[in-house]
Amino acid sequence: MFALDVKPDLLEQCSDKTQLCVDAAQFGSAARFINHSCRPNLAPVRVFTHCRDLRLPTVALFAMHDIQPDEEFTFDYGDKFWSVKSKFMKCECGTAECRYPTKADETESS
């Protein structure tokens, strides 16, 4: 599960200011197996195909640059995801740009 950071201009178009979250517990695709990276090669984009209701977007993943054969697909789960999950786990992306290299309790006890 991860939260989509909603741009303020899109949020203004939603009369009830709905926050969006993706949860593949009931329904999902192979995309649920795509890992997080602080330096991702995919960007999640809300698209509207069959339904134009701003509360019901489909999330499409687009390449941010050419992806090499055998390169893992990754996207940034976002700050809202890590504000919850960093209490239990740390990011394992291994990039120099990693924003969540320690669990929250490790940071607090330092």
CATH number of the domain bearing residue 92: 2.170.270.10
Residues of the chain with pLDDT below 70 are 1-25, 104-110
- Rg (alpha carbons) of the chain, rounded to whole number: 16
- Number of structural domains in the chain: 1
What is the model's pLDDT at position 55? 76
What is the model's pLDDT at position 11? 46
Q: Tell me the residue range of the domain where 104 lies.
A: 2-109
What is the model's pLDDT at position 96? 94
What is the model's pLDDT at position 84? 86
What is the model's pLDDT at position 39? 96
Is the separation of the CB atoms in 42 and 98 below 8 Å? no
What is the model's pLDDT at position 92? 93
What is the pTM (predicted TM-score) of this model?
0.68
What is the model's pLDDT at position 40? 95
